[in-house]
């Protein structure tokens, strides 16, 4: 008996949008019919012959758990998967089989059993009859159904992506090859779920799959795929900026069974994106500029200043990243009230534990926008990343905290993802938060502004006083005393020798400048992120005639161009 012919296989791949997968066996999507051709040793007699097509998954398949699925083309017995005989020709029977829209995702073994006068006989195990069943965003009954062809094509089928990084005022792009259809990647993605010891029965639920994978993509607490490193020292691995695609990372992990070094947020997000798209879950990489890390869960970013206006590093636990990358995946959320399905935030970068493991999500984007921070999973953490207020406190020697300033617009300044079907960026900030102008405003303390001009840091304050003495606290912990008048700008030289040795590959300077008015004790503060760029290298290609003229000219003066 044979499973299918090449023609049937090609038709299945086209119908199931799996043509691009590099695989030796059949790959189909659940909730949609595929066809197999069975060849018997004699002509098939519908009235007399009884047979079944069996599908098993996992090491201990059981009918009660949905890991053993017998499919009966004849109507006398029902099965959970629909089937029908679509064609018969002598001893060849073509069967159409439709897996349930919530079927387990993974690699199945297929057998054919027949009833004979000597009992039930089953075909032997043959790897060529294996098949993969994936999530199906084209099927209306599938939990990952996405009814937008352009978005679906981008977020499932596109292998090439653009990841945004840099800073809000200086956005940069990084190309990435997701490679979700490359040979071996699908097996590597399924191995990740095996490695996590995820129950087979949970692997048809995109919520559970995405949550488990967000933990497994980082190596913290479970020997997952990637080791994080923000130190700038990548001696024992590959620098995060050197990666350009997911395939090598996933195949290395699959073959070595060991975490791969090294990653930062965009690498986690890129490889996670490959995992999701490979299994059929629509996914995209998202970048949040000025992304907060709420360490204590109070939905605010708290900056503690000491009595002199300097940041108290021992008590300031929250932080703000100039950008942070995470993923969105598309799915229904039957565990949430109506309207909170659709795009969900998942994040593999290990920041905080969730239910005891370093993972995040899936968290409904709609829930985040509307402040429904009680909804699972980790909606409050993501809300703080994009919508928290930056609150500055002054701490006295006695330990009391006094509110200095509240900045409601600094965090979550811009959220970007790639435009479907294009190489431009798409602003999706409004999907996460309402316009800042619609939020209620409170009275704030006087503010200061930081401007960076080349090697010069400029502080400008709008304190309405005739003349006061201001102590300026710089990043290098030096103190400069100024005598300021209203609207006057003072300059502080920032020399490269003070920071060059501390820069890592992204070369960002994060200034948090605070000042205290000596006469009144009033504190002003401001922040500024500056991205440093390497000089541009321009290569000039000489044409033969121009090079000949240049050589002759230099030889006249006794110079050899090769020495220059």
Q: Parallel, antiparallel, or unpaired: how do β-strands 342-347 and 360-364 relate? A: antiparallel
Q: Which two tokens stand for residue 323?
A: 């950008």
For residue 209, the surrounding DSSP H or E stretch is helix 206-216
Please say whether the beta carbons of 446 and 524 come within 8 A.
yes
Q: Closest Cα partner for 294 from 414, 411, 166? A: 411
Query: Is residue 324 annotated as a catalytic residue, yes or no?
Result: yes
Q: Can you spell out the DSSP letters for 31-68?
A: TS-EEEEEE-SS---TTT--EEEEEE-SSS--GGGTSE
Which of 142, 324, 378, 389 does the annotation list as catalytic? 324
Q: Left, alpha or beta for 257 (phi > 0: left; psi -120 to 50: alpha)?
A: left
Query: Is residue 265 annotated as a catalytic residue, yes or no?
Result: yes
Whole-angstrom distance, CA of residue 234 vs CA of residue 221:
21
Which of 222, 347, 378, 389 does the annotation list as catalytic? 347
Whole-angstrom distance, CA of residue 213 vs CA of residue 361:
10
Which of 265, 278, 325, 329 does the annotation list as catalytic? 265
Contacts for 556 with CB less than 8 Å, ≥ 6 apart: none
Contacts for 457 with CB less than 8 Å, ≥ 6 apart: 450, 451, 474, 491, 492, 493, 494, 511, 513, 528
Signed CA dihedral, 380, 382, 388, 393: sign only? positive
Query: Is residue 306 annotated as a catalytic residue, yes or no?
Result: no
Q: Closest Cα partner for 384 from 347, 330, 425? A: 347
- Active-site amino acid positions: 265, 324, 347
């Amino acid at each position: 008996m044979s499973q299918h012919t090449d023609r049937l296989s090609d038709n299945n791949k086209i119908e199931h949008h799996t043509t691009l997968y590099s695989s030796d066996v059949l790959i189909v999507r659940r909730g949609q019919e595929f066809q197999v051709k069975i060849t018997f040793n004699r002509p098939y007699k519908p009235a007399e012959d009884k047979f079944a097509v069996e599908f098993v998954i996992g090491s201990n398949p059981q009918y009660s758990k949905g890991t053993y699925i017998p499919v009966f083309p004849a109507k006398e017995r029902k099965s959970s998967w629909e089937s029908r005989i679509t064609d018969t020709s002598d001893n060849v029977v073509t069967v159409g089989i439709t897996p349930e829209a919530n079927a387990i995702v993974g690699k199945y073994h297929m057998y054919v059993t027949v009833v004979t006068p000597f009992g039930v006989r089953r075909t032997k195990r043959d790897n060529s009859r294996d098949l993969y069943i994936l999530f199906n965003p084209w099927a209306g009954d599938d939990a990952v159904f996405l009814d937008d062809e352009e978005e679906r094509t981008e977020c499932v089928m596109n292998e090439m992506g653009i990841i945004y990084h840099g800073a809000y005022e200086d956005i940069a792009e990084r190309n990435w090859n997701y490679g979700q259809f490359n040979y071996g990647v699908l097996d590597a993605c399924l191995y990740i779920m095996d490695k996590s010891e995820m129950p087979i029965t949970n692997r048809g639920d995109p919520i559970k799959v995405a949550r488990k994978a967000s933990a497994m993509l980082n190596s913290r607490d479970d020997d997952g795929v990637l080791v994080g490193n923000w130190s700038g020292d990548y001696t024992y691995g590959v620098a995060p900026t050197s990666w350009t695609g997911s395939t090598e990372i996933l195949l290395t992990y699959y073959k070595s069974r060991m975490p791969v070094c090294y990653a930062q947020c965009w690498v986690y997000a890129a490889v996670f994106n490959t995992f999701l798209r490979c299994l059929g879950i629509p996914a995209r990489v998202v970048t949040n500029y000025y992304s907060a890390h709420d360490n204590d869960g109070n939905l605010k970013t708290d900056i503690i200043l000491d009595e002199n206006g300097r940041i108290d590093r021992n008590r300031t636990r929250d932080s703000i990243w100039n950008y942070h990358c995470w993923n969105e995946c598309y799915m229904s959320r039957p565990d949430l009230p109506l309207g909170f399905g659709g795009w969900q935030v998942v994040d593999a970068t290990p920041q905080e534990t969730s239910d005891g493991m370093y993972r995040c999500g899936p968290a409904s984007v709609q829930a985040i926008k509307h402040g429904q921070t009680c909804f699972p999973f980790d909606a409050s953490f993501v809300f703080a990343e994009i919508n928290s207020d930056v609150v500055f406190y002054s701490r006295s020697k006695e330990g009391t905290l006094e509110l200095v300033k509240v900045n409601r617009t600094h965090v979550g300044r811009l959220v970007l993802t790639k435009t479907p079907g294009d190489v431009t960026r798409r602003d999706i900030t409004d999907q996460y938060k309402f316009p800042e102008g619609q939020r209620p405003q409170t009275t704030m303390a006087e503010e200061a502004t930081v401007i960076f001009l080349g090697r010069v840091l400029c502080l400008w304050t709008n304190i309405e006083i005739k003349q006061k003495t201001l102590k300026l606290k710089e990043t290098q912990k030096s103190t400069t005393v100024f005598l300021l008048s209203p609207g006057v700008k003072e300059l502080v030289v920032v020399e490269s020798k003070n920071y060059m040795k501390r820069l890592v590959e992204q070369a960002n300077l994060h200034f948090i400048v605070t000042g205290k008015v000596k006469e009144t004790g009033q504190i002003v503060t401001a922040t500024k992120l500056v991205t440093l760029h390497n000089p541009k290298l321009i290569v000039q290609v000489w044409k033969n005639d121009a090079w000949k003229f240049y050589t002759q000219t230099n030889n006249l003066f006794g110079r050899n161009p090769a020495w220059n």
